[in-house]
Amino acid sequence: MRESDAKMKTVSVREFYRNAGLIDGLPEGQQLAVTANGKTKFVVSKGRRPKMTRKLAEARAVGSAGVSKFDGTAFLASLKK
């Protein structure tokens, strides 16, 4: 048995879909093998959460600093006319 197999927990497809908390409780580096009819269908692993950096925050930001703010109320009012 390989070392990577020793860290892998096995659950059925039914249990996997009924209990989403299995993934939340999975420690980093451990894998969860999902099986159906005794055969592995797919393997789930929990990755590290990326740290928020200034560059990442700017890439995810909506709009740009140089553009005026969007006025949603005025836009909806223009649709009613």
Mean pLDDT by 10 residues, the chain (81 residues): 62 89 82 91 82 79 66 84 70
Verdict on whether the full-model pTM lies above 0.85? no
> How many domains in the chain?
1
Domain enclosing residue 22, as ranges:
1-45
DSSP bridge partners of 11: 34
Instruction: Give me 35's structure tokens.
Output: 């099986």
Tally of CB atoms within 10 A around 16: 19
- Asked if the structure places residue 63 within a domain, the reply is no
The closest alpha carbon to 3, from 29, 37, 36, 42, belongs to 29
Q: How far is 6 from 71, CA to CA, in rounded Å?
A: 56
- Asked if the structure places residue 11 within a domain, the reply is yes
- Asked if the structure places residue 21 within a domain, the reply is yes
Task: Give the pLDDT score at 65.
Answer: 62
